[in-house]
Amino acid sequence: MIPYSCQTIDDDDIAAVTDALQSSRLTQGPIVHEFEQAIAAYTESNYAVAVSSATAALHIACLALELGPNDWLWTSGMSFSASANCGLYCGAKVDFVDIDIASGNLSIGALESKLAKAKQAGCLPKIVVVVHYAGQSCDMKAVALLSKQYGFKIIEDSAQAFGGYYAKKKVGGCQFSDMAVFSFHPTKTITTAEGGVITCNDRILYDRLNCFKSHGLVFSEAMQSQEGGWYRDQAMLGFNYRMSELHAALGLSQISKCDQFIEARHLRALRYNELFKDVPQLSPLEISKYSKSAWHLYVLLLDESLPSHSRRALYEFMHQNGIGTQVHYIPIFKHSFFQQKGIEADDFPNTMSFYQRCLSIPLYPTLSSDQQTLVVDTIKAFFDEQVTRASA
Ligand SMILES: *Cc1c(COP(=O)(O)O)cnc(C)c1O
């Protein structure tokens, strides 16, 4: 079976984790700190806070921006539920913005018109979570302009975009956002098995994030000289969202190979683009001029003119032929939990159309040339069979 995604783990990674396991601290030690510094340096941000997952990262990013009941959080429906759940964890209300079909990213036009309407209705969002779909950055300058005009905060859900670029700068530098969140789940560009990080440039946000990730505890020399060396104060309601030393050791070992991983993904994506040129039934995602994708996913869009069951038939055909594919994503608002909140799928026609036609095919650094040829030939065989059947 060729999976749609696969982590790359080598002997250096294994040695790094083994060393961490033999060190005196398994958590709250120096490796997490070193990993955070490496992330900040890599993304050219001032600060990085490592946590147990991107989901945890999104949660405390919202808390750091003081999202609460009566506030609105907006995000793209074409994402993993975590992009929206973070708002609900804070008791806020959640709504969605339609996407551009060509890229799968949030549509700036849809955002702009939704903001204009929300302003009139007096329900502007406090936070917009911008998702960088498949590893390609959204048009952040445009989002930042709208944030100035309408006064919302921006969290980049860059879970899929670690190592990607926007306007010639690494995603995560937060030039056009308040914070950026990354995931190190094994399907993402680098992995810590489970893990995530938030980058930002603001010291106050950084302090709050650190506080929320570890039970809301704060301490200072002044406090300790008055009360005693043991003294810490729980200043707010926090969580245990810490990353362990073992996970950070894996991340630190992986980050040194990140650019290599992305280059390998990029080359494979270019080859797919080339090989699919003569397959009129599908198209790859459009890559914008302003971004360099981290190539988390290689997504195909089936042509609108194909019968509606085609995507499912292709998915099953690939599976029968030993090739894993996946649908990214079931629109968040389509899940029963969100349907109960009365969100209408009809309000997001592009997200629905994209969902009905998208399929992610295998893409990872160790995908061999032969495997890739097999993936493409299998897809071509599927369409040949369809055409033969249709004309019979
Ligand atoms: C993977 C992913 C997440 C969640 O990441 P975890 O680290 O698994 O919590 C959130 N948002 C998007 C867009 C993702 O792709």
- What is the maximum alpha-carbon separation in the chain? 88
> CA-to-CA distance for 385 and 392, rounded, in angstroms?
10
**From the alpha carbon of 132, which atom of ligand 1 is closest?**
13
Read off the pLDDT of each residue in 232-259 and give the average, rounded to a whole number. 97
How far apart are alpha carbons 343 and 111 in whole angstroms? Answer: 17
Average pLDDT on 160-168 reads 97
Using the predicted structure, report yes or no on whether residue 268 has a pLDDT greater than 70. Answer: yes
Q: Is the CB of 38 under 6 A from ligand 1?
A: no
- Rounded to the nearest angstrom, the gap between the alpha carbon of residue 153 and the centroid of all alpha carbons in its chain is 18
Render pLDDT for 177-190 as a digit per residue (tens, 0 to 9).
Answer: 999 999 999 999 99
Cα–ligand 1 centroid distance for 187 (angstroms): 10
Q: How confident is the model at residue 234 (pLDDT cuts 50, 70, 90)?
A: very high
Q: What is the pLDDT of residue 55?
A: 98
pLDDT band at 104 (very low <50, low <70, confident <90, very high): very high
Closest ligand 1 atom to residue 83 Cα is 11
- Cα–Cα distance measured from residue 268 to residue 272, given in angstroms and rounded to the nearest whole number: 6
* Percent of the chain surpassing pLDDT 90: 95
Tell me if 160 CB under 6 Å of ligand 1.
yes
Is 93:72 a contact under the CB 8 Å cutoff?
yes
Atom of ligand 1 nearest to the CA of 56: 9
Kindly report the pTM of this predicted structure. 0.97
Please give the pLDDT value at position 173: 98
pLDDT in tens, 350-386: 999 999 999 999 999 999 999 999 999 999 999 998 8
Which pLDDT score is estimated for 390?
A: 72
Long-range contacts at 13-16 (CB < 8 A, ≥ 24 apart): 13/250, 13/253, 13/254, 15/253, 16/249, 16/250, 16/252, 16/253
129: which strand partners?
Answer: 75, 155
Average per-residue pLDDT in the chain?
A: 96
What are the phi and psi torsion angles at 120 (to 5°)?
-65, -40
- Tell me what the mean pLDDT of segment 229-234 comes to: 93
At residue 392 the predicted structure's pLDDT band, cuts being 50, 70 and 90, is low
pLDDT of residue 342: 87
Atom of ligand 1 nearest to the CA of 188: 1
Average pLDDT over residues 113-135: 98
Written as six digits, the tokens of 108 are 């700036």
* SS3 assignment, position 234: strand
Least confident span in 19-33, 219-233, 318-332:
219-233
User: Of all protein residues, whose CA lies closest to atom 10 belonging to ligand 1?
Assistant: 82
Residues 6 or more apart whose Cβ sits within 8 Å of residue 95: 72, 73, 74, 125, 343
pLDDT at 388 over 80: no
Residue 35, token pair as written in the block:
């990993």
Share of the chain above pLDDT 70, in %: 100
Tokens of residue 204, six digits = 């106050």
Q: Is ligand 1 within 6 A of the CB of residue 163?
A: no
Please report, as a single letter, which amino acid is at residue 296.
H
Mean pLDDT over residues 318-343, rounded? 96
What angle separates helix 54-64 from helix 203-213, to the nearest 10 degrees?
A: 120
- In angstroms, what is the span from residue 347 Cα to ligand 1's centroid? 24
Give 329's Cβ-side CA count (13 Å radius). Answer: 19
DSSP annotation string for 219-261: --HHHHHHH-TT--EE-S---B-PPBHHHHHHHHHHHTTHHHH
Bridging pattern class, strands 291-292 and 169-170: unpaired
Q: What is the CA radius of gyration of the chain?
A: 22
Task: For residue 340, give both structure tokens.
Answer: 């109960």
Q: 61-88, pLDDT tens digit by residue?
A: 999 999 999 999 999 999 999 999 999 9
Single-letter amino acid code for the residue at 81? S
Which CB contacts under 8 angstroms, 24+ apart, belong to 273-278?
275/372, 275/373, 275/376, 276/300, 276/376, 276/379
CA 86 to chain centre: 13
> Contact, 220 vs 233, CB < 8 A?
no
271 contacts: CB under 8 Å, gap ≥ 6: 369, 372
In the three-class reduction of DSSP (H, G, I as helix; E, B as strand; rest coil), residue 375 is classed as helix
pLDDT higher than 70, residue 151: yes
Q: Which residues pair with 198 in a beta bridge?
A: 49, 181
Cα separation of 354 and 389, whole Å? 26
